[in-house]
Chain A
Amino acid sequence: MSDTRLAAARALATGIVHPGQETLLAGLEPGLWQVTPTSAGPVLALAGDLHLHAVELAGLPVARLSPTQAKTLLAVLIATGTGAAHPYPGAVATVDDVLTVLGGTAIGPQAAAHVKGALNKLHTWRLAQLGPPGGEEAVTADLGVPLRAGPAVALWSGPWVGELMALVGDLAEHRRPR
């Protein structure tokens, strides 16, 4: 079993490249694999232009976000948006900011609970990161908890990111008080 093979498998399994193994992983086919820096540390992932989107996903078994999870992720991108072309790393926001984007107190306690549940799942899937930057302890979505775009967002690439950020920009502009 080669060191590179095991280091790569370990990086894929843990979602993180262990310190000192970046040099080993640099030997992988660059057209297929890349090491991307994120707030959680370097991540080994498929090269950006291999990320499937739109029609390429048709007919494939893929994991899809539920409507509440998708809406909550969009709210996270709005709350953490900086106007940059890419949503990562974005600004630090709070769970309150996400709830405000989605309607604040008007959405009611039950809908707020669903949003918090969705944030916890987005945290599990590394699409959102709950807790203070660099914090190690487990944090669940609640009022006042800091939040930012998760390390998985750092891997997003392709034309669809531009389209998504245009939508995020439009929505943020629409929300701004006149």
Chain B
Amino acid sequence: MRNLVTALLVFCGCAAAAENTAIAIRNAKIVTVSGAVISKGTVVVRDGLIQDVGENATVPADAIVIDGEGMTVYPGLVDALSTWGMPGAASGARGGRGAAAATPVATATPAAPAARGPEDRPSTTSWIKAADEIQPGDKRIETARNAGFTTAAVWPTRGFFAGQGSLVDLLSGEKAGEMVLVPSLGQYISLARAGGGGGGMGGGFPSALMGMISYIRQIYLDAGHYQLVKDAYAKNPRGMQRPEYDRALEGVIESKRILLPANRWVEVDRMIHFAAELKQPAIYYGLREGFEDRSVKYLKDANATVLVSLKWPEKARDQDPDAEDPYRQMVIREKAPTTPAVLKKNGIKFALYSDGLDTPRDLQRAIKKAIDNGLAREDALRALTLSPAEIYGVQDRLGSIEKGKIANLVVTKGEIFDEHTKIEFVLVDGNKYVPAPEPPPAGRGGAAAPSGPNNGVRK
């Protein structure tokens, strides 16, 4: 393996050479996801795309050949709702230690005065796109890739209208632009103020949940009206007062779908009704109580699509050992990880997402927990590959190993999601990355490049 890395490094200097060079993985087991498993076959990758796949795929003469004996090739994993690469989002420092103090928000801008109503557009940044904010140097891009993730739907998550998500490939480099597959996936809506706090009285509008819901409703009414007035003005501007430009409404209008938070079954019900009222195509995220019969019923009736958080509820760590949680809370802890299996059984479209987890160990454990709670391994894989691709409408490019699709692959020794499985390497847009054997020890100090310089081989 080491030899190969060095060999590839030679090509690195010349972009053109790298782009033309094919990589062929031979004699490997290929889990295509879209079709049958190929027990022994070849995948050929060129120009960042899958050139060929099959039992007898031809290996081009110029290809770098990797012997995949004993290896399995999977499509690269996709995080259906992520903050990897987003500035100011929760950082990987938390690890598995449970939520420590909230990560301080980057405070470049002075605090806005308390909003007096919807007209002040509180906690709204509907116009920003993750693609424009993403930081390619974010350490979490590398750690997530080490866990087999090659793609993420990255979303701004702070505020009522947090902004527009983007689908990005997890490349390490300088140019965020190269990473972007889809610049706008829709609008992320949360029912929490940006920067937290502000509850109760005196924190500005809105402070209560009903205020937040009312605010979102008003924004959609305003957006509809704004569009109407703008259209009228465009048709016949003469003699008509020009409508005032409103970036908050522009951002909402250009978002083709919304993400709505729904953890409890009560919230699933509430948000499905809300999306119908707003007449917006919606995806619901969270789904802690997705296992509940009622959640299932509501989701089925609405033909809804959901993103299930991999951060399973846990008992508070610093709790008095003798203190008893309410029964309901214990049931939720017990049943939450069965949600993916329940959704699968009921034919509800779902994908899984990291929700702040970002180390290979935490991610692997969380996925394993869903499998241990009844989700078939192949369904877990689908929920992390082809399903998110379908949900975001990029199944023609992503999510399975098929000719012509983007060359995002994970190559393992052992079954993916197993505790002792080793990820040999990852291809992202055909670029090969070899995970570091261990997480870098603290105090490595003075390393040349910002992130894992010896891991990535870039064109």
Q: Do A and B bind each other?
A: no
